Structures are given as structure tokens and as C-alpha cells.
Chains A and B, each alone.
Chain A
């Protein structure tokens, strides 16, 4: 394709994406002059460029659109939803034409008289008649004559338009006259400018440097460049008057110096090379550990190489990172169109749009995300009157939330609509032959909901124009699993539904667990691995059989097991340790154990596709070369789960377990370990990001504090209370605590077990860093205060340095607290902390969940809530509780980082008893007794 045309298509596509978003914004803020100016400029630029490269049909259409926008801008016309609908329709038509051009390099046949007529009607202040008359030739004629006039005027000014001095890939943005102005940052190169001016040739078009100028926010200078003169009609051939050219150019140069356009393919190649470099580095590191080499002389340059490689890898990865907001930019428009089409009131809320992920992944999740948002709006949300009848606000909410969690990206799509009724799903699944009555009867609601991800299942009662476009949830799931992600669904009838997608940060390099079965090694992507459990002799976990299916009791749950040995038809290997480890794996909500003989380390691997003749083996997602040079197959947990089918184990046990769990909310998973003198110690498992073996020879010291290089950064190490000083050789396990980008390692002697117990602090803390002792597994166990160690590692993690002594009075009465916080980290931190202070804590992750507890008839002595939460924030929660609920008298404390005066005032207004800074745990403990008395 012609380079110029290609460039034009790319830039126009970018610009049009913005126009979509901005038009929807405009509808909501019709008086936003900056917004108008920005939209006008984009459409104007498109028109100018079309003229320049001779796309007449596009130009005519864009011109009519620009006319209307110009009148909006000059306040000659009022912005109405109807007018915006027509403008959006013309944008869609432009996109359609562009798509055709992209395929065939020529404009499609046909006319746009219908749209142009409607646009002109709007421009003349009349409402469009809806259907344009088929013989609407008068308007186009008028249109043409106008265009001709421009042309004539332009020709006068420029009797002999010269051809381009040289074909340039980036047309210079000098379209139109000075009043209209081009966006700063549009002009590509200084040099080009000069050539163009000297040549005095026809200039038009725009090099919309979307990468350099974030156009969603109009430049602050924009209004000043746009005096409210009547919309100037720029001609296709127009001499470029350049007022304030110098000033503009200096700014443009500054921008273009900071960023360059790089071909994505080039970046992909770079990434591949870096991946290879990482592998080679790993191989060298492995070599250096072997004893035959002269290590002393080898180590220093190798470490340097290792560091450089890590930095290079991160650098290259960063070039591929893009904010997830890029994949969301179309959504406001979609929601806006949907709300009109369906007659629903929908509000789209987006959080974490700046969360970055690999562009390759971004591309792959774009469609699934769009589909799911559309689904939520179409099937999830009810009609306004139905919502009113259900006691909800008329406006339905669709919430998108993206954030990092443990090296992955989590994207949540939730709505406060009708939820999904498992009974209906069950009926439909049976009707579609996806399951049988008897099978379905055994399933939990959660399992039944999973049917919506099965091929051949569509939940819509009727297929509307909106959904039912051939992309079912099964395709969504397949696409997400293709990139090594998982998708999970939660829904409550009448309350809404929520999808949770977990995806890796990048596809290029993944962390994998290396296991061995029958003498062969395999890699399992860490993303799917929940935990490792040792079975067999001397272990409390025994493999049992139910109806021929091997299962294991894991914390009183039944886990179906798959023997890798028999699944892969393997024989031989070390028969002594046969199947002595269970890799607990999660695929969607389905958990199963993979039986393996041995477990090695985790390793960073580069996933390489298998040869085509091996593609039909769905048990493998690829292969890779390990540090020692061996080729290893990468197991695909999704494929294994699909092949074995979701093994159903009798669910009664599960149900009892879950019911029990609701009753005793303060049960926590605890990691038991040994460190130094005394009995076992425990820490809430959910606080621990990972457990790593630390090579003590690699420990460095800075300012007297031990550090280790960990995932390319320095991680402080802290010894657990009562532990010996760190030795300088050998390996020790370390519990890694992570928040945001910071990690801390707590070095311990030995990992013992994971148990589920309620923390019931029976003895006061004897030393700082301890919460106190609790009876766990029948043994007195010290519960560690993770907060204390975090403070030790990073002074600013928490402001408070010393742990307050647990409140003895509080413990006697065991006051009940409800903790509402959307951050799992803080929930997990505060729960044991408050428990140790003698409170019985129930923690929930959202205001809605808190209201559920209210509806279930639970009561508390006090409520501690975060303010900033998706869907319903703390203010709204407090308002609901204090206005009309059974909890009206329950004191509510806001625990938040938002502590400016206006927030505090607002807090008191909506009925907060107190307002405490999130990290100020002392104040909270001080206030709680008086509140709950």
C-alpha cells in the first residue's frame, strides 16, 4: 500500500477513536468549549487530509460533519443527543469507508446523501427527518457547489498548485487557516515544514501524532488559537499562512524529540532477542554454579551481564507497555449507543485505566472486554422501571476496574443489574444437552454458572441487535485462556454479576514451576499454580479414591486429582518418590491437583510454540529451553482440565464447608513456619505473596541491612523475631511480602504447613513484631505482625513504629467489627491486627457485600470502612446505613487515605462517627473502645 495512504489510515483511525469518546463526553457537557474545539479540529483534519490524497467521498462526508460541529462550536446550534447521533453515524460511515480503503486502496462505490442531508438539516437548525429522501440530490448538489466555491477561491489564491517537492510519509499539518489552527504536536518534522514552505506547494493533511499528544485532553493553548470566528472552510488547496509559526514549531520540536514512532514488528523482534538473551544468561548462571569452572574470575562479569540483561529486558518490556485505557476508549461510545438503543440508563465507571500491560495482550483482550461490557449493559442491567421496582437507582452501573496483583493484571467487569439466575442456567444447560439433570443436581451454583462459558450456550432470552453477534462467552473464555489468563464469574440474583479476568503482564517471559514425572521434567505456568502439597508417607495428606477418581482432602475440601504419569502415558523414573507432590492448579473457578513425582524450582521461561506437527497435543502450550540447555515441554492446565473434563466430586462436603465458613468469618488461612527458638510461628497466608528459597551467598548489605537482588530489584531481608543472624551460605526460605512495587523478604528457618484456623489470640505479645499467641493445630503458636516487619523494611510503609499492646478490656467482651475495604492487602492486614486487639472481625471486600450482611440480619458493634471503593464508596455506604437501615445506630468509622478537610466534612455529614487516616492504626485502636461501649 502507498505509504502515504497507510499513514493516513493509521492516523485517521486513531483520531476517530478519540472523536467517539469526545462526542460522548460532549453530549454530557454540551458547553465544554475546549472539547468542541478539539473534536472540530480532528474532523477538520480528517477532511483536509482526505482532500489532499483525493478521497472525494470521505471528504464530502467529513465536510458535512465538520459543518455541524463548527456550528456547535460557534454556539449557533445547540448540542442535542439527536444531533450527536447523526454525527456519530457519519463517523461510523467514515470508518466503514476507511475499512474499505484499507482493503482495496480505493473508496467504495456509493453515496452518502442520506447522512449528508441529515447533517445539513441539523446545520440549518432543523431536526433531521430521520430517513433521508432517496432523491435527496439538492443537498449534495449544494454541498458540491460549496466545495467548488472553495476550490475556486483556493485556485485563485494558488493558481498553480505545485506537486509535492518530495513524497513524504508524514504529511504536514497545515490544513486550513490560522484561525482553525492545528493541534500542537501535529507537525511531524521541522525540516518538512521548511521544505513545504519554501516549495509553496499545496499543503493539507494532518500527521496526528497520537502518541505524542494525548488528545483526549485538549491542549491548554487550544482555546486561544480558536477565536470564535465563523467556521472557516478550509480548502483542499490552500496556501498556508503561518501565524505564530515559530512559537508553535518550537513546541512541536520539543514533543517530537521525546517520542518517535517505531514499527511494532521491530519491537517484537527486539523482544524476541531479549528473551533469547535472558535464556542465555540463565544458562551461563547455571554454568557458573557448577564446580568445574574457575568461578572467581567468572563471577564478576557474569553478574554484570546478568544485571544488564535484566535491565534491558525491563526496558524493552516497557516499550511494549500500554495503559489498559487504550482498550477501553471505545466503551463510553458503546455504552452511550446502547443506553439509547435499549432505553436503559447506564453509567460506565472505569478505574485503573492507567494500569499498563503488554500491547500484545492488550490487543488480545480488547474484543473480549468490549463484548463483556456490552453483555453487562444488555443482559445484566434491567430496564429503569424494573430497577425502580427492585428498589435500585434507575441508572444502572457497569464498572471496569483494572489493577496489578501478584505479578498479574486483574480486570473486573461488574454490573449492579439482575445478576444471573443459576436455575435458569441449569435449565438451559440441560435443554442444550450440555449436562444431564442428575449431573446438574450435584453441582453447586458456582459450577452451574460456569456453563455460560461453554460453547453452544447463549443466555439472552432473545438475541438483540446488541449482543448475540456470534461471540459467545465461550469465545471470550477461549481468547483469555489463549494468553494464559483465567476468567471467573460471580453473580447474585438481583444484585448483579461480576467477571474477574486474571492475565499475565506479558506473554514473552513467564514464570513456571518445574516438576518431574517418570524421569521427565515439565513446566507448569506459575499463573495457574495455587500451592504445592506433599503427599505420601509421613504426610497428613493422603490420596483417596471416590468412585475410582483419586481425590485428596485439602483443608477439609475434596480436591480431584489428575495423575500426570497416567495422563501422559508415562512409565519408569524413580519409583520411590512416585507421585509424592500435588500441584494444586486453578483453571477458572475449577481447582484440581496434578500429581507429580518431584518439584524443582521456578524458572523464568520464554514460551516457544511447538512445531505444527505437535499442535494437536492440547496438553502442552509450548516448549522452552531451560537454563541447563534442555528442552522442556510446558503443560497447559487449561488443556488438561478440558481433556479430563471437570471431575465432579460429591459436593455435599463443599456445601457444608462453605456454610460453615459463612458462620465463622474469622477463619484465616495461616502459614506456619519455624524461626529461631520456641514454638511454631504463623502469619496470614494471604499476606504472603510468595515463598522463595534465598541463596545466602547472594545476600548483600547496605547501611547494615541485608538485601538481595530479587526480580531485578533490591529486596530488603528481615529476620524474624528470635531468629539467629543470617549465615553466609546455604539456602533459607523467605516469605515475600509485596505491595505495589515493593517487596520484603522475611527469612525463616523452615516452612511447616498451611492451616485454616481462627486467630484467637490467647496470650499477649511478648516482643515487638508479635501479635500474641494462639492455639493452632493444638500447639501454642506465635502470630507474627506482618505490619511490624513491613515498617522495619520500609519506614514509610506504615507511619506507626510500635505495635500497641492489645486492648485487654476489648477482649473480654469480643466486640464485633465489620471491616469494609476493597483492598485485599489491607483487609488481610487489619483483620489479624484487630483480632489481636480483641475484636471479632468480619471483613468484606465491598460496600455491597456489607449491605448483603445487613440484609442477612447480621449485626455488629462498629463498622470500619474504606472510602474509595468501586461501585459504592464509603460515603454512599454510610449514607445508606445512617438513613434507613437496621444499623442506623451502629457507629461507622472511615479508615482512609483521603483526609483533607472537605472529605472529613463530607464524612461527618453522611454520618461517620469518626474519620481516621488509613495508616494510623493506633488512633483506630484508641477510638474503637469508646465507640463500641
Chain B
């Protein structure tokens, strides 16, 4: 299985293309999942490609007063309003200390669009499902509650995120 490397500038079309690839793979019944790797704080996470609508760069975000601190605000994606979730806060990680252009991973739930705001977007990995392991019991619940397992990659661990659970709060 080849691994497509995705840069920060990855466009929607590329994602769509990947989407097709993934479906082809899934149809083949290989029992694999494609994940986009993202970084939130020091930790590497994987988001299933099939959940992703789009990946866009930094956006002007409108602050929504009195909303949960996890909600960063609302932004305009080609005429649709997207609610942005600050992933650092969602995962209980420390606030960003220096200015940084963060990326928006746009996902869809029940017809509404949400953006998972992450520090960096990495690459697309195709991983065997059976290689996914259960969480270590020591993992913090703020992370464990929103993930489906971990993958052991070269030298580090990647936590697979469950988009549905992230949006339940």
C-alpha cells in the first residue's frame, strides 16, 4: 500500500481523490483505514479520511459569546457556516503559547459542518485495522473518551480520533 503524503496546502479535491482511493481499498475488503495525521500539542492524532470534508488553512473566525470555551467560533466555508472546535481545549491540552497558524479539519455531522482546529496537518496513512490497539489504562480520560484506539508508528504513538464523540460535549 502506498502512502500518500499530504502537505499543509492539501486541497479539497485531493481529499476527494483520496476519498475514492479509500473507498476502493475498503471495497476490496482489506480491513484497512486511511487516517490523516494531525498534531495537537505534542501528540499525534489520526482522523479517518472518510469523516473529513475538507482541510483548509487559517480562517477568520467569529467569536461566539457565551458558548462553551471549546468552541472557537464560526467561520465561512464557501457560503456555509462552520462551527470551529478548538482541539487543544477539547482534549484538555495546554493553550498555545505562541502565535501559530492553525489548520481547520472540516467534518460533517447530521448536515452541519464543524472544523476541528489543529496545530498541524501531516500525512495520510493507510493502516491495518487489526493493528489498532486498545488504549493504555493510564491514558487521560479527556483523550480516551474521544478515541477508538491507538496505532504504534515508528517511534511514536498515534491516537485515532472518533469524530462523533468529539462533537458530543
Interchain CB contact under 8 A, A631 and B112: no
Give complex CA distance A747, B23 in Å.
Answer: 64
Q: How far is the CB of B66 from chain A (nearest CB, A)?
A: 6
The 0/1 profile, CB within 8 Å of B marked 1, for residues 609-651 of chain A is 0111110010110011100011111000000000000000000
With an 8 A cutoff between CB atoms, is A262 at the interface? Answer: no
With an 8 A cutoff between CB atoms, is B81 at the interface? Answer: yes
Contacts of B167 in A (CB 8 A): 613
Interchain CB contact under 8 A, B114 and A629: no
- Residue of chain A at shortest CB distance from B167: A613
Interchain CB contact under 8 A, A632 and B112: no
Contacts of B62 in A (CB 8 A): 520, 623, 630-633
Give complex CA distance A246, B68 in Å.
Answer: 70
Contacts of A617 in B (CB 8 A): 64, 66-67
- Residue of chain B at shortest CB distance from A564: B65
Taking a contact as CB atoms closer than 8 A, the residue among B60, B63, B114 that contacts A611 in the complex is B114
User: Most chain-B Cβ atoms within 10 A of its Cβ — which of A280, A620, A631?
Assistant: A631
With an 8 A cutoff between CB atoms, is B74 at the interface? Answer: yes
Taking a contact as CB atoms closer than 8 A, the residue among B63, B76, B83 that contacts A614 in the complex is B83
With an 8 A cutoff between CB atoms, is A568 at the interface? Answer: yes
With an 8 A cutoff between CB atoms, is B155 at the interface? Answer: no
Give complex CA distance A630, B110 in Å.
Answer: 24
Q: How far is the CB of A658 from chain B (nearest CB, A)?
A: 37
With contacts A613-B71, A613-B83, A613-B169 taken as known, whether A631 is within 8 angstroms of B76 at the C-beta atoms is yes
Interchain CB contact under 8 A, A608 and B76: no
CB within 8 Å of B: which residues of A? 276, 279-280, 520, 568-570, 608, 610-614, 617, 619-620, 623-625, 629-633
List, sorted by A's number, 29 A–B pairs whose CB atoms are closer than 8 Å: A280-B79, A520-B62, A520-B65, A568-B65, A568-B66, A570-B65, A611-B81, A611-B114, A612-B110, A612-B112, A613-B68, A613-B71, A613-B167, A613-B169, A614-B67, A614-B71, A614-B83, A617-B64, A620-B64, A623-B62, A623-B81, A625-B79, A630-B60, A631-B62, A631-B73, A631-B75, A633-B62, A633-B64, A633-B74
Give complex CA distance A503, B53 in Å.
Answer: 38
- Residue of chain B at shortest CB distance from A622: B81
Interchain CB contact under 8 A, B112 and A629: no
Contacts of B60 in A (CB 8 A): 630
What is the count of residue pairs linking A and B with beta-carbon distances less than 8 angstroms? 57
Interchain CB contact under 8 A, B79 and A614: no
CB within 8 Å of A: which residues of B? 60, 62-68, 71, 73-76, 79, 81, 83, 110, 112, 114, 167, 169
- Residue of chain B at shortest CB distance from A283: B79
Give complex CA distance A631, B83 in Å.
Answer: 10
Contacts of A520 in B (CB 8 A): 62-63, 65
Interchain CB contact under 8 A, B65 and A629: no
Interchain CB contact under 8 A, A619 and B83: no
Give complex CA distance A657, B74 in Å.
Answer: 46
Interchain CB contact under 8 A, A625 and B76: yes
With contacts A612-B110, A612-B112, A614-B71 taken as known, whether A630 is within 8 angstroms of B76 at the C-beta atoms is yes
- Residue of chain A at shortest CB distance from B83: A611
Give complex CA distance A198, B60 in Å.
Answer: 67
Smallest CB-CB A-B distances: 8 pairs = A568-B65, A611-B83, A631-B74, A631-B62, A611-B112, A631-B76, A625-B76, A629-B76
Contacts of B65 in A (CB 8 A): 520, 568-570, 619, 633
Q: How far is the CB of A209 from chain B (nearest CB, A)?
A: 35
Give complex CA distance A520, B64 in Å.
Answer: 9
Q: How far is the CB of B52 from chain A (nearest CB, A)?
A: 17
Q: How far is the CB of A567 from chain B (nearest CB, A)?
A: 9
Apart from the given pairs A276-B79, A619-B65, 4 other A-B contacts in the complex at a CB distance below 8 Å: A613-B169, A625-B79, A631-B62, A631-B75
- Residue of chain A at shortest CB distance from B62: A631
Taking a contact as CB atoms closer than 8 A, the residue among B67, B73, B81 that contacts A608 in the complex is B81
Give complex CA distance A630, B68 in Å.
Answer: 21
Q: How far is the CB of B80 from chain A (nearest CB, A)?
A: 9
Give complex CA distance A790, B164 in Å.
Answer: 61
Give complex CA distance A568, B75 in Å.
Answer: 19
Give complex CA distance A631, B64 in Å.
Answer: 10
Interchain CB contact under 8 A, A614 and B81: no
Give complex CA distance A619, B73 in Å.
Answer: 15
- Residue of chain B at shortest CB distance from A625: B76
Give complex CA distance A331, B63 in Å.
Answer: 47
Give complex CA distance A276, B169 in Å.
Answer: 31
Give complex CA distance A631, B59 in Å.
Answer: 11
User: Most chain-A Cβ atoms within 10 A of its Cβ — which of B65, B66, B75, B112?
Assistant: B65
